[in-house]
Amino acid sequence: MTITINHFLVVSFLLFSIGLLGVLVRRNFLTVLMSVELMLNAVNLNLIAFSRRLSDLTGQVFSVFVITIAAGEAAIGLALTISLFRQRRTLNVEDASSMQG
Amino acid sequence: MTAAQAVPGALLTGAAGWMFVVFAVLALGMAVAVVVARNPIHSALFLLSSFLLVACIFILQQAEFVGAVQILVYAGGIMVLFLFVIMLVHQRGVQERLTFQHQWDVALLFLLVFLLPFLYVLWTERFPELPQNLDAFRMVKGKIAGNTEAVAWVLYRDYLLPFEVASVFLLVAMVGAVVLGKRSAEKVD
């Protein structure tokens, strides 16, 4: 089985789409955060594949930065989750609608 | 790895290619399970397996350092944080009545907006046929070293400023998480 860059692009796109669908359709705030992590992971997959394809280490360095951003995003998101739960006793994103016009 | 250079543009060949197929299919299945699982703990465990499978794909491509970082930071750090928060806010009696919002039309529209340019690029774009130099991942100053050493060389030589900015970013995220998660004194119930 010969794998080219196109296979990686398709897998990465599918992973990203699954994450996007999760962000848009899930009601639980924690699952929405997990879907964001899935999307970041799909981007990393692309970066590593192109790093290999172009024989350039910059992609690997960049994906380390993406992992750093993901860690910070998870920390802030989970702090927001705890804050939301303390205020509303729920994790449903549809209940956090007090700023709705 | 001489076989990979025989076919131009091939990233993985032979058994490595089949392993990629297995890992990719399993990772996609785990990702679907993350989105459809009702229980957040199940979602978190499926997400953990998805991360580990993607780390396997990284290692398959000889990006060992990023694979190790993926396992350490995602599986070791972020997932533990997720599980802590899930256990902190999990209510036993309250089960979600509806897992999904009524937003499927908007979600599918978004997906279509992403899908069409992707397919266009995939079918029209021919990436340049560069000769693959697999030693570039492990060369430091003309000598064969490890992947970690090569990544560190690029990171500290060419990307020192972004590296320092990332450390400041992590500090800001930490302070922000503490401030957001802190129980304010007048609201203690």
Q: Which ipTM was obtained for this model?
A: 0.91
Rounded (5°) CA angle B145-B153-A70: 115
B:3-62 residues touching chain A, CB 8 A cutoff: 7, 9-14, 16-18, 20-21, 24, 27-28, 31-32, 34-35, 37, 40, 43-44, 47, 50-51, 54, 57-58, 61-62
Tokens of A66: 């993406």
Distance, in Å, from the CA atom of B21 to the CA atom of A11, rounded to the nearest integer, reads: 10
Among A65, A1, A10, residue whose Cα is nearest residue A42: A10
A:38-97 residues touching chain B, CB 8 A cutoff: 38, 41, 44-45, 48-49, 51-58, 60-61, 63-65, 67-76, 78-83, 85-86, 91-94
Which domains are seen in chain A, by residue range?
5-93 (1.10.287.3510)
A42-56, B32-46, B141-155: range with lowest mean pLDDT: B141-155
Q: Does B87 contact A at CB distance below 8 Å? A: no
CB contact under 8 A, A70 and B74: yes
Chain B residues whose CB is inside 8 A of the A17 CB are 111, 114-115
Among A76, A65, A73, A60, residue whose Cα is nearest residue B164: A65
Among B90, B54, B101, B59, residue whose Cα is nearest residue B74: B54
State the pLDDT confidence band at B3, using cuts at 50, 70 and 90. very low
Residues 6+ apart with CB under 8 A from A62: A47
Among A37, A62, A33, A35, residue whose Cα is nearest residue A47: A62
pLDDT(B30) > 90: yes
Q: What is the pLDDT of residues B84-142, one digit of tens each?
A: 998 888 765 555 666 677 778 888 898 899 899 988 888 887 777 776 666 777 777 77
pLDDT(B1) > 50: no
Distance, in Å, from the CA atom of B31 to the CA atom of B47, rounded to the nearest integer, reads: 7
Asked whether the CA dihedral B103, A37, B89, B35 is positive or negative, the reply is positive
Q: What is the pLDDT of residues B36-75, one digit of tens each?
A: 888 888 999 999 999 999 999 999 988 899 999 999 998 8
pLDDT(B8) > 70: no
Among A17, A1, A67, residue whose Cα is nearest residue B7: A1
CB contact under 8 A, B151 and A48: no
